[in-house]
């Protein structure tokens, strides 16, 4: 693919996905805040988180195979359409007066199923469109642009939630999804990847088994997944319980909820573009470990500060740090995994995400109704610091962080799994 062609394609793709993401963010913030403000219950918030993650967990193994078997562009289109369709149904029901919390849990389930298909397909398709040496830069820019959307989404979401009905945000999400679908369908051309035809010949269960065997052959992937799982468990309180902490500690005004989201988004935007411009430390694993350690410190401080301005400032700093972890995560997998296995590997990452964060909420959500949230955040931050120490001590994983390694061919053991 010519240089100007891949640049044009990835520009169209990122633009369309960002527009669609903006609408999704409006709804995600609104649902979370609506439940928080209506119930003020960590248990109900936990149910909302489980509804948003567990369905994705169960579908992810199949979604990963689909991303390796079928046209990834079509999979993304199908997933976006399904999410938009069920969001539209919810908007109509809310408009006719059916405004139950249970309905929000149901729509979260369907949105989770669509996300399970969407995420591995997107992550596997990007290396088809971008030269390998440009992946880190493009991923950093992509992260920065999407994070910048997070600056405006919580502001608009809070304003609309305070001045209009929740269904208005649902209708906006449907409209932005339609724009994203149209952009992807008409403007983005995705080159095929090698072995695509062969990848569609086997059985689904064989493909899943082969993908798991492939993962076992990597001395990089297994410990990488273990550390990711531990981190996601300890990150869950700062991701999901900070709005509840704000309501309980500082007040229930929508602008406060919006302020912490905007602050976090500002930080993520700056962090994403810093990653694109600088790239982090020479060793990417050490970049990730340092980011985790610093996030552990800010999480502890977020738990104990009593001044709202300081609280928001710490959210900004945490947002800056996050891209120095999650951008190298995706890029290292894209660089080290063969194209025909990217969907399955990313689906395993999705399963870890769909397991550990809900598991964290199963522990910390009900606990937040019994224990002060500040202590939960302090424990969470200490857990991140412990993960950092373990990560630095894993010499094999650190060795993989120095430079891209050529994709690993299947060993005879992996081949025999089919």
Q: What are phi and psi of 96, to 5 degrees?
A: -90, 10
Q: Consecutive 10-residue runs of the chain (418 residues): their mean pLDDT? A: 73 89 86 79 77 78 79 91 92 88 89 86 84 78 73 78 87 93 90 55 63 75 86 86 86 80 83 77 81 93 92 92 82 75 75 76 81 91 92 80 50 38
- Predicted TM-score (pTM) of the model is 0.63
Per-residue pLDDT at 172 = 92
Rg (CA), the chain: 21
148: nearest Cα among 319, 326, 30, 27: 319
Q: What is the pLDDT of residue 138?
A: 83
State how far the Cα of 348 lies from the Cα of 366, in Å rounded to an integer. Answer: 27
| Integer CA distances (angstroms), 61 to 7, 284, 349, in order | 31, 28, 10
pLDDT for res 350: 72
Give the pLDDT score at 193. 63
Alpha carbon of 330 to those of 302, 350, 379: distances in Å? Answer: 27, 12, 27
* Structure tokens belonging to residue 66: 């689909």
Q: Which CATH superfamily is domain 3-416 in?
A: MFS general substrate transporter like domains (1.20.1250.20)
Helices (H), 40-134: 42-69, 72-95, 101-129
Structural domain boundaries of the chain? 3-416
Virtual CA dihedral for 275, 278, 282, 284, nearest 10 degrees?
0
Please, what is the angle between helix 135-163 and helix 323-336, to 10°? 130
Task: Tell me the CA distances in angstroms from 122 to 42, 178, 353, one per residue in order.
Answer: 32, 17, 16
Distances (CA, A) of 337 to 44, 86, 124, 409: 39, 34, 10, 9
* Widest Cα–Cα separation across the chain: 62
Q: Please give the helix or strand (H or E) that residue 198 lies within, else none.
A: helix 196-199
């Amino acid at each position: 693919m010519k240089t100007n062609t891949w640049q044009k394609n990835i520009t169209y793709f990122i633009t369309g996905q960002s527009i669609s993401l903006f609408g999704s963010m409006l709804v995600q913030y609104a649902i979370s805040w609506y439940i928080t403000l209506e119930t003020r219950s960590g248990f109900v918030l936990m149910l909302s988180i489980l509804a948003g993650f567990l369905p994705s967990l169960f579908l992810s193994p199949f979604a990963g195979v689909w991303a390796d078997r079928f046209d990834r562009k079509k999979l993304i289109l199908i997933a976006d359409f399904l999410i938009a369709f069920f969001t539209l149904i919810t908007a109509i029901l809310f408009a006719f007066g059916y405004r139950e919390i249970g309905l929000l849990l149901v729509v979260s389930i369907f949105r989770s199923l669509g996300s399970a298909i969407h995420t591995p397909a997107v992550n596997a398709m990007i290396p088809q469109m971008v030269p390998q040496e440009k992946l880190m830069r493009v991923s950093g820019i992509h992260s920065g642009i999407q994070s910048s959307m997070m600056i405006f989404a919580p502001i608009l979401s809070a304003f609309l939630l305070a001045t209009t009905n929740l269904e208005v945000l649902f209708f906006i999400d449907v409209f932005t999804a339609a724009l994203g679908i149209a952009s992807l369908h008409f403007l983005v051309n995705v080159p095929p990847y090698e072995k695509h035809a062969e990848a569609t010949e086997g059985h689904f269960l064989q493909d899943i088994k082969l993908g798991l065997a492939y993962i076992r052959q990597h001395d990089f992937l297994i410990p990488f997944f273990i550390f990711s799982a531990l981190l996601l468990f300890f990150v869950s309180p700062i991701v999901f319980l900070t709005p509840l902490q704000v309501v309980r500690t500082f007040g229930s005004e929508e602008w406060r909820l919006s302020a912490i989201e905007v602050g976090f988004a500002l930080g993520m935007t700056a962090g994403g573009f810093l990653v694109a411009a600088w790239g982090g430390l020479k060793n990417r694993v050490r970049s990730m470990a340092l980011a985790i350690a610093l996030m552990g410190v800010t999480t502890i401080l977020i738990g104990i500060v009593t001044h709202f301005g300081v609280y928001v400032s710490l959210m900004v700093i945490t947002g800056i740090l996050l891209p120095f972890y999650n951008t190298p995560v995706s890029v290292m997998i894209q660089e080290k995994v063969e194209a025909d296995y990217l969907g399955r590997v990313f689906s395993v990452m999705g399963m870890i995400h769909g397991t550990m964060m809900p598991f964290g909420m199963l522990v910390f959500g009900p606990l937040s109704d019994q224990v002060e949230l500040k202590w939960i955040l302090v424990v969470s931050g200490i857990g991140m610091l412990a993960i950092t120490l373990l990560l630095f001590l894993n010499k094999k994983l650190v060795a993989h962080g120095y430079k891209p390694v050529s994709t690993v061919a299947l060993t005879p053991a992996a081949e025999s799994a089919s």
